[in-house]
A and B are shown apart, each in its own frame.
Chain A
Amino acid sequence: MQGPVYFDIAHMLAGGLVLVSMMMLYQDRLYALLNVFALHSLLLTLSVAWQAFIQGAPHLYVTAAIALVFKVVVIPVALHHMIRKLGIHREIETVVGIGLTMLAGIGLVALSIVVMLRVTPEADPLTREDLAFALSVLLLGLLIMVTRRNAVSQVVGFMSLENGLVLAATGAKGMPLVVEISVAFSILIAFIVIGVFLFRIRERFDTVDVGALDDVRGRRRK
């Protein structure tokens, strides 16, 4: 199914993901960050579902459903709970200023658009822009992980990065189910890992600030 409207909606949803990624860079409170992440995943769900519809690929609905259940509902709720339990609903410390971070984010978006559009001149427009957006989301997720010191926000950054990957995988037409399942699967595993980690970190430090971990190392090396 190809038509301007179909394209437009896919374009809006995928571009919306980039926008929401930028919003995540802007957030400096954990709860807000989680809520924006849930929005991010919701957009991803819609985007994947729309791709499933356009491509006539019903298996993508499964991916969308997984994203909806896990990333829109379960994980944000669980992280909310965790934050409340840990009592860390204060501001996120950012390593560099938000303005600078966002500028870097814009740079990354520009980079991914330039790179992806240049190497895919023959693919169909939808795939091209999906890839450009996906790479942007991926790099922005990386940026979140790099600029945040709090373990929870790093995890959120990681998951938004995964969202970018899912977007890329669905944008590639006819990509086998193996990969989608594996993506969802790895998210699941990653989350288990993360859960274990958070618990252990809390056990040991009573904080999930990764900076505290660095302090420990600094003390030891002295």
Chain B
Amino acid sequence: MVLIRDLLVQVVQMALVVALAPLLTGFVRKAKARLLRRRGASVIQPYRDLSRLLRKEAVVAENVSWLFRMAPYLIFAATWVAAAVIPTFATGLIFSWTVDLIAIIGLLGSARFFLALAGMDVGTSFGGIGSSREMLIATLAEPAMLLIIFAVALIAGSTQLSTIAAFMTSPQVGLRVSLAVALIAIIMVAIAENARIPIDNPATHLELTMVHEAMVLEYSGRHLAMIELAAMLKLLLYLSMIVCIFVPWNIKGPEAGYPAYLVGFASYVVKLAVGGAMLALFETATAKMRVFRVPQFLGAALMLGLLATLLRFVSRSL
């Protein structure tokens, strides 16, 4: 019975993330539009886009290798697995015991690896630029992320998200500066990783400064749908991760009953909505920075990660 329940939770989780990801993106777009006093597209517009793309024929350049065709599925799969193991409404995910935070970063890293390869595979200049910029961002964002994980893991005593979430709700956490610093740093990394303003503009593929959009410029049809969905999933993933580490309230443990799961689910949706709204607000209020400034921005995130690790040693346990 326990196994079945856990499996069920896991399956629900997997379905949930895929189902919610386009909604989140749509919600953020809507919120941004409203903040700009536009009416904006409906929140379910991303679903429509995806289904349209899936129905369309995939046009593939003649000189591309098998990698170009394979990459979207690999990217989607890696991102989906990563997103599926982050506790959203319940901690007792059956897969989560095999995949910790570092593995999640690894999964995302491999997704990025394939994306960059695919970008270069076409041989157009935009793809190359996008890939090289993506790798530039990655070389800075990943160490920063690892440092943040390091800081969090040092405090919680584990890299398992479930354990961290449980620890964060316990009274022994208290208010800690290093956690606050880590939160700021993780937000910076998340912004960079998800190609949001001020690092990249998700709403355009017409700029010379684009990063993510430059790599996927050659994709169409179901391939593009996969990549878009993976990008949406990644946004959801980062938001869930932040929520799971820093505001893990109402994420139910494995013994909780189904009604409790419902409560957990409801609060998860609320948290996502709040997070999405804050993202929209932030993006509306900031201007995109020059590409040359990006290393500084991420460098700062890296430093904050380091600072978080350092400050961990100054705490109540003195």
Is A68 in the interface zone, CB < 8 Å from B? no
Interface size range of chain B in the complex: 20 to 34
Is B206 in the interface zone, CB < 8 Å from A? no
Stretch touching chain B among A55-63, A77-85, A101-109, A175-183: A101-109
Q: Which of B174, B307, B316 contacts A106 (CB 8 A)?
A: B307
Q: Is the CB of B307 within 8 A of A18?
A: yes
Residue of A nearest to B305 (CB): A106
Q: Is the CB of B177 within 8 A of A117?
A: no
Q: Give chain B interface residues in 191-247, CB to chain A under 8 Å.
A: none
Give B11 Cβ to nearest chain A Cβ, in Å: 40
Q: Which of A7, A16, A22, A128 contacts B303 (CB 8 A)?
A: A22
Is B1 in the interface zone, CB < 8 Å from A? no
Residue of A nearest to B297 (CB): A26
Q: Give chain B interface residues in 263-318, CB to chain A under 8 Å.
A: 295-296, 299-300, 303-304, 306-307, 310-311, 313-316, 318
Residue of B nearest to A127 (CB): B318
Q: Is the CB of B318 within 8 A of A26?
A: no
Give B199 Cβ to nearest chain A Cβ, in Å: 15
Q: Is the CB of B314 within 8 A of A132?
A: yes
CB-defined contacts of B181 to chain A, threshold 8 Å:
15, 19
Is B91 in the interface zone, CB < 8 Å from A? no
Q: Is the CB of B299 within 8 A of A102?
A: yes
CB-defined contacts of A22 to chain B, threshold 8 Å:
303-304, 307
Q: Which of A5, A7, A19 contacts B307 (CB 8 A)?
A: A19
Residue of A8, A9, A97, A105 most packed against chain B (CB within 10 A): A8
Q: Which of A5, A18, A98 contacts B311 (CB 8 A)?
A: A18
Q: Is the CB of B311 within 8 A of A15?
A: yes
If A8-B316, A132-B314 touch, whether A98 touches B177 (CB-CB below 8 Å) is: no
Residue of A nearest to B172 (CB): A4
Q: Give chain A interface residues in 47-102, CB to chain B under 8 Å.
A: 97-99, 102
Is B180 in the interface zone, CB < 8 Å from A? yes
Residue of B nearest to A9 (CB): B175
If A16-B180, A26-B300, A102-B299 touch, whether A117 touches B318 (CB-CB below 8 Å) is: yes
Is A174 in the interface zone, CB < 8 Å from B? no
Give A217 Cβ to nearest chain B Cβ, in Å: 31
If A18-B311, A109-B307 touch, whether A11 touches B180 (CB-CB below 8 Å) is: no
Q: Give chain A interface residues in 121-141, CB to chain B under 8 Å.
A: 125, 128-129, 132-133
Give A35 Cβ to nearest chain B Cβ, in Å: 14
Q: Which of B178, B296, B314, B315 contacts A99 (CB 8 A)?
A: B296
CB-defined contacts of B5 to chain A, threshold 8 Å:
none
Is A110 in the interface zone, CB < 8 Å from B? yes
CB-defined contacts of B296 to chain A, threshold 8 Å:
26, 97-99
- Residue interface bits A176-198, CB-to-B below 8 A is 1, else 0: 00000000000000000000000
Q: How far is the CA of A221 from the CA of B49 in the complex (A)?
A: 70
Is A12 in the interface zone, CB < 8 Å from B? yes
Q: Is the CB of A125 within 8 A of B318?
A: yes
Residue of A nearest to B317 (CB): A125
CB-defined contacts of B178 to chain A, threshold 8 Å:
15
Is A210 in the interface zone, CB < 8 Å from B? no
Q: Is the CB of B177 within 8 A of A102?
A: no
Give A203 Cβ to nearest chain B Cβ, in Å: 35
Q: Is the CB of B177 within 8 A of A19?
A: yes
- Residue interface bits A134-167, CB-to-B below 8 A is 1, else 0: 0000000000000000000000000000000000
Is A201 in the interface zone, CB < 8 Å from B? no
CB-defined contacts of A16 to chain B, threshold 8 Å:
177, 180
Q: How far is the CA of A194 from the CA of B233 in the complex (A)?
A: 54
Is A39 in the interface zone, CB < 8 Å from B? no
Q: Is the CB of A106 within 8 A of B306?
A: yes
Give B299 Cβ to nearest chain A Cβ, in Å: 4
Nearest 4 interchain pairs by C-beta: A15-B177, A125-B318, A8-B175, A99-B299
9 new A-B pairs (CB below 8 Å) besides A5-B174, A98-B299?
Answer: A4-B316, A8-B316, A19-B184, A26-B296, A99-B296, A113-B310, A117-B313, A117-B318, A128-B314
19 pairs, A vs B, C-beta closer than 8 Å: A8-B174, A8-B175, A11-B174, A11-B316, A12-B176, A12-B180, A15-B180, A18-B307, A19-B177, A19-B184, A26-B296, A99-B295, A99-B300, A102-B303, A103-B303, A109-B310, A113-B310, A132-B314, A133-B314
Residues of chain A having any CB pair with chain B under 8 Å: 4-5, 7-9, 11-12, 14-16, 18-19, 22, 26, 97-99, 102-103, 105-106, 109-110, 113, 117, 125, 128-129, 132-133
Residues of chain B having any CB pair with chain A under 8 Å: 174-178, 180-181, 184, 295-296, 299-300, 303-304, 306-307, 310-311, 313-316, 318
